């Protein structure tokens, strides 16, 4: 289409971006703003990737909204929070790099140092205005978090925005990012699946091989190729081989099949963080129909509600953030040789089912007056157990034959009795439910004057209800390792010339942590921005 090195190249630009979510359009915006020609290649038939399926919230340290509100986010303290939660077994507050390997430390430094820059440029370019989201950090209860409020922000809806008609959440954010990048000359191509890198004899990345519809083409990149193509959540072979626990699907875009993991391996990239995902819980019935689900259980609704495992015992703080709660499914019982929490059973009574209080976190409990086919109900715990066993037989092909223990109903009665006692006192001595700032923020109002808004006794008689929950992810968070400039590193720790990555397709700077609401999207945008800006500074590379 022009500016070619030769007839074999369909198009040659300065920067090729792969993926059209926060990472991709963050890179495209930064490179185009620096005056470079940019093309965005999106595998799907529509833009947005997993970002478009998100809430569109961004978690960014020391962001412009915090500053405008007079909130301090001290750099040294913030780095301690990031390091402590991302790499808890390596963290050492007295060490120069907080106990982290040098590159890991430099990357979290870049996350803190460059976040405001990325957002301020986006605002200055007219891409978006920003506003605070009144959520605390997910680990605000830890002493390392000295700025627990203010890091959570979002793009502000314009005057006249029509909820339910106009794009909201992640799709609204993607639309703003795309508009900003394309106003600077970026071109977006859909149905364009990148399958290989093109490198010259020096090892420089000079372009990509891409399938556009039914044909294959070469797109050249004078200064760099930036991948923001998502993780590998929907590649069952990869999730089985790399993740530290089972997943049955999740909310990532369908195209999150690990393209950059394969391409990075071909390029000799160093790999990292492959065992981790952005964990969550999903409804088994929905996952059995389609592993690509648009809904995860963000914060289980209800106060007279607990989750129990196949033995009828509680195993987790049901109100803890989804990333922490979702990891309960991966607990291995070495004595029984099983995952006892592979499925968790969300139990509740009519006090929850019929509660008219509105909540954005009500799912999977349906609104009052509506029904859901995934809810199992019965008048007694024994009857509920029998119905669940029958239901589970129909899901054996998905769960590997998971079922309830023979003593499940008896153990549930004991679990509920203990729960009722703790709920009356307002203290969950087993799992500390309702104690952290994020749990209190999301709890809703207290019912019947209970001391702890997240806790209420079950009714003495049924009906009782159950939703079967299974392990899912928002996406994976491992892949090629990058440095503070978002350059992909080879197995010797050296940058692969011309190759960048950001978002869920690379080894996440967050390690095992989920720092706060919007932690995936904010980091993707910032490192996409860093990648695009660095690529724009490069000298031109050419094929042989």
Over the stretch 407-452, which tens digit does the pLDDT of each residue have?
999 999 999 999 999 999 999 999 999 999 999 999 988 999 999 9
Give the CA distances from residue 528 to residues 24, 194, 220, 234, 510, in Å, rounded to whole numbers and listed in that order.
6, 18, 19, 22, 15
The rounded percent of the chain whose pLDDT value lies above 90 is 95
Question: Is there a contact between 374 and 283 (Cβ–Cβ < 8 Å)?
Answer: yes
Provide the CA 466 distance to its chain's centre, in angstroms: 26
Q: φ and ψ at 450, to 5 degrees?
A: -65, 145
Beta strand pairing call for 305-308 and 344-349: antiparallel
User: Average pLDDT for residues 118-140, to the nearest whole number?
Assistant: 98
Confidence of residue 166 (pLDDT cuts 50, 70, 90): confident
User: What are the b/e assignments for 215-239, b being 16+ CB within 10 Å?
Assistant: eebbbbbbbbbbbbbbbbbbbeebb
> Is the pLDDT reported for residue 238 higher than 70?
yes
The separation between CA 111 and the C-alpha centre of its own chain, rounded to angstroms, equals 17
Calculate mean pLDDT across residues 328-353: 98
pLDDT at 493: 98
Strand-pairing partners, residue 467, are: 346, 375
Apex 280 CA angle, 275 and 281, nearest 5: 125
Write down the pTM of the prediction.
0.97
Please count the other Cβ atoms lying within 10 Å of the Cβ belonging to residue 94.
6
Using 50, 70 and 90 to split pLDDT, how confident is the model at 331?
very high
DSSP state for residue 330 in the 8-state scheme: G
How many other CB atoms sit within 10 Å of the CB of residue 149?
18
Average model confidence (pLDDT) across the chain: 97
User: Over the stretch 16-62, which tens digit does the pLDDT of each residue have?
Assistant: 999 999 999 999 999 999 999 999 999 999 999 999 999 999 999 99
- Band (293; pLDDT cuts 50, 70, 90): confident
- The C-alpha angle 482, 85, 151, rounded to 5 degrees, equals 85
Res. 463 pLDDT band, cuts 50 70 90: very high
Q: Tell me what pLDDT residue 163 has.
A: 83
Residue 360 pLDDT exceeds 90: no
pLDDT value of position 244? 97
Residue 2 confidence (pLDDT): 62
pLDDT at 213: 86
How many CB atoms lie under 10 A from the CB of residue 378?
17
Specify the higher pLDDT residue, 84 or 162: 84
For the chain, list the domains and their CATH numbers: 11-276+477-536 (3.50.50.60), 280-473 (3.90.700.10)
Amino acid 33: pLDDT:
98
> Is residue 1 scored above 70 in pLDDT?
no
Q: Give the pLDDT of residue 6.
A: 86
The 10s digit of each residue's pLDDT in 94-106 is: 999 999 999 999 9
Checking if the pLDDT of 294 tops 80, the result is no
């Amino acid at each position: 289409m022009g500016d070619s090195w030769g007839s074999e190249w369909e198009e040659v630009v300065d920067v090729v971006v792969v993926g059209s979510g926060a990472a991709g359009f963050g890179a495209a915006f930064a490179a185009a703003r620096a005056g470079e020609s940019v093309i965005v290649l999106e595998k799907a038939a529509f833009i947005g990737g997993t970002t478009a399926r998100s809430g569109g919230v961004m978690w960014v340290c020391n962001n412009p909204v915090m500053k405008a509100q007079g909130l301090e986010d001290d750099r040294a303290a913030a780095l301690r929070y990031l390091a402590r939660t991302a790499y808890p077994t390596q963290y050492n507050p007295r060490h120069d790099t907080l106990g982290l390997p040098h590159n890991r430390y430099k990357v979290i430094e870049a996350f803190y140092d460059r976040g405001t820059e990325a957002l301020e440029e986006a605002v200055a370019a007219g891409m978006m205005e920003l506003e605070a989201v009144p959520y605390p950090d997910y680990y605000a209860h830890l002493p390392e978090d000295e700025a627990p409020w203010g890091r959570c922000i979002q793009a502000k809806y314009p005057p006249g925005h029509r909820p339910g008609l106009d794009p909201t959440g992640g799709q609204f954010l993607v639309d703003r990012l795309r508009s900003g990048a394309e106003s600077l000359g970026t071109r977006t191509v859909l149905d364009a699946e990148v399958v290989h890198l093109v490198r010259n004899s020096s090892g420089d990345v000079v372009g990509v091989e891409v399938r556009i519809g039914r044909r294959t083409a070469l797109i050249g990149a004078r200064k760099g190729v930036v991948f923001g193509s998502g993780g590998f959540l929907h590649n069952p072979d990869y999730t089985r081989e790399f993740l530290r626990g089972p997943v049955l699907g999740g909310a990532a875009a369908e195209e999150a099949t690990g393209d950059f993991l394969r391409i990075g391996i071909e390029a000799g990239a160093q790999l990292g963080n492959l065992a981790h995902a952005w964990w969550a819980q999903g409804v088994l019935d929905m996952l059995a129909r389609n592993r690509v689900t648009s809904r995860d259980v963000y914060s289980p609704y209800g106060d007279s509600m607990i989750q129990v495992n196949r033995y009828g015992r509680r195993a987790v703080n049901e109100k803890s953030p989804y990333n922490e709660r979702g990891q309960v499914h991966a607990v291995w019982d070495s004595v029984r040789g099983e995952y006892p929490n592979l499925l968790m059973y969300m139990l509740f009574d009519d006090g929850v089912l019929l509660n008219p209080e509105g909540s954005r976190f009500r799912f999977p409990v349906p609104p009052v007056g509506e029904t859901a086919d995934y809810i199992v109900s019965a008048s007694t715990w024994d009857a509920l157990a029998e119905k669940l066993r029958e239901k589970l037989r129909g899901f054996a092909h998905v769960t590997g034959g998971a079922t309830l223990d023979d003593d499940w109903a008896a153990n549930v009665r004991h679990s509920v009795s203990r729960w009722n006692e703790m709920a009356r006192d307002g203290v969950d001595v087993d799992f500390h439910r309702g104690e952290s700032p994020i749990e209190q923020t999301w709890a809703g109002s207290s019912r019947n004057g209970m001391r702890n808004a997240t806790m209420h006794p079950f009714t003495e008689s049924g009906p009782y209800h159950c939703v079967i929950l299974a392990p899912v992810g928002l996406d994976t968070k491992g892949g090629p390792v990058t440095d503070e400039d978002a350059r992909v590193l080879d197995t010797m720790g050296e940058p692969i010339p011309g190759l960048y990555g950001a978002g869920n397709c690379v080894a996440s700077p967050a390690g095992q942590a989920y720092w706060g609401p919007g932690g995936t999207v904010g980091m993707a945008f910032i490192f996409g921005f860093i990648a695009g800006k660095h690529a724009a500074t490069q000298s031109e590379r050419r094929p042989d």
